[in-house]
Amino acid sequence: MIHRPTAVVLIAGALALSGASAAFAYWSVQGSGHSTAQVAQVKSLLVDVDDIHGLILDKTVPIHGVIHNPNDFPASLHGLHITMKTTMDAGHVMCALQNFGIVAPTFTPDSSVPANGDLRLTNGFITLVNSSKDQSMCEGAQLTFDYTLK
Q: Cα separation of 102 and 131, whole Å?
A: 15
Q: Which helix (H) or strand (E) holds 63?
A: strand 60-68
Domain membership of residue 24 (yes or no) is no
Residue 26 in any domain: the answer is no
Q: Which residues pair with 145 in a beta bridge?
A: 86
Q: Is residue 22 part of a domain?
A: no
Cβ-contact 66, 124 below 8 angstroms: no
Confirm whether 56 is domain-assigned: yes
Q: Supply the range of the domain harboring residue 52.
A: 46-149
* 57: nearest Cα among 147, 125, 135, 111: 135
107-120 per-position pLDDT tens digit = 998 899 999 999 99
Q: Is residue 108 assigned to a domain?
A: yes
pTM across the whole model? 0.70
Contacts 24+ apart (CB under 8 A), 51-54: 52/126
What is the number of structural domains in the chain?
1
Q: Is residue 35 part of a domain?
A: no
Q: Does the residue 36 lie in any domain?
A: no
CATH number for the domain spanning 114: value is 2.60.40
Residue 49's alpha-carbon distances to 46, 76, 145, in angstroms, are: 10, 20, 9
Residue 82 inside a domain? The answer is yes
- How confident is the model over 12-47, as pLDDT tens digits? 555 555 555 555 555 566 778 889 998 878 999 999
